[in-house]
């Protein structure tokens, strides 16, 4: 009787006790199974210029001038109101109370020509016009001949790129 009980304990140990000694199975994260072929890569995002071209459109009188003393007075010395050299003739004079130095403008002439200019000069005529609430731009050209030939536009459309 005694030996039978011992046998029971022995079997019990063999059947259950031994499990405690075995290493527990490691936990493994489930492996993702892809259904179907891998998806095509997303197209690269388009790079867009996030600076919108903000401008206002006004009507202006547009004339031209050259760096001569006839156009710029006896003290003309080849330097604009903003301190630029007069060449390479990409500048325009404006009333800087109305349109600040360095502002880019597009002047649309009736024949379809678009003059892309930057305000870098000023003049008495422009300031006088602005006192009356009118815009006047004076486009700088290399020669007095060209300035005269340019003539006067009274109602030219002008885009002023000064909006933020």
Residue numbers at the binding site for Zn ion (CB under 5 A): 66, 68, 70-71, 144
CB of 88 to Zn ion, least distance (A): 17
Helix, strand, coil share (%) of the chain residues, nearest 5 = 25, 25, 50
User: For residues 8 and 73, which CB has a smaller minimum distance to Zn ion in the complex?
Assistant: 73
User: For residues 61 and 140, which CB has a smaller minimum distance to Zn ion in the complex?
Assistant: 140
The answer to whether 156 touches 62, Cβ cutoff 8 Å, is: yes
- Could you tell me where the beta strands, DSSP code E, fall in the chain? 56-65, 91-93, 104-108, 114-121, 135-140, 153-161
CB of 63 to Zn ion, least distance (A): 11
The answer to whether 111 touches 121, Cβ cutoff 8 Å, is: no
CB of 71 to Zn ion, least distance (A): 3
User: For residues 93 and 160, which CB has a smaller minimum distance to Zn ion in the complex?
Assistant: 93
User: For residues 136 and 160, which CB has a smaller minimum distance to Zn ion in the complex?
Assistant: 136
CB of 152 to Zn ion, least distance (A): 15
CA distance 83 to 76: 12
Q: Which has the closest alpha carbon to 151: 138, 134, 132?
A: 138
CB of 144 to Zn ion, least distance (A): 4
User: For residues 127 and 144, which CB has a smaller minimum distance to Zn ion in the complex?
Assistant: 144
């Amino acid at each position: 009787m005694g030996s039978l009980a011992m046998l029971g304990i022995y079997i019990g140990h063999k059947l259950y006790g031994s499990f405690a000694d075995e290493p527990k199975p490691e936990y493994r994260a489930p492996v993702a199974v892809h259904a179907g072929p891998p998806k095509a890569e997303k197209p690269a995002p388009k790079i867009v210029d996030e600076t919108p071209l903000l401008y206002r459109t006004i009507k202006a009188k547009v004339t031209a001038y050259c760096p001569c003393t006839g156009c710029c007075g006896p003290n003309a010395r080849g330097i604009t109101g903003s301190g630029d050299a007069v060449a390479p003739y990409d500048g325009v004079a404006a009333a800087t109370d109305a349109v600040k130095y360095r502002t880019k403008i597009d002047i649309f002439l009736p024949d379809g020509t678009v003059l892309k200019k930057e305000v870098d000069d000023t003049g008495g005529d422009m300031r006088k016009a602005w006192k009356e609430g009118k815009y006047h731009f004076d486009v700088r050209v290399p020669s007095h001949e060209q300035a005269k030939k340019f003539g006067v536009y009274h109602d030219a459309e002008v885009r002023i790129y000064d909006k933020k």
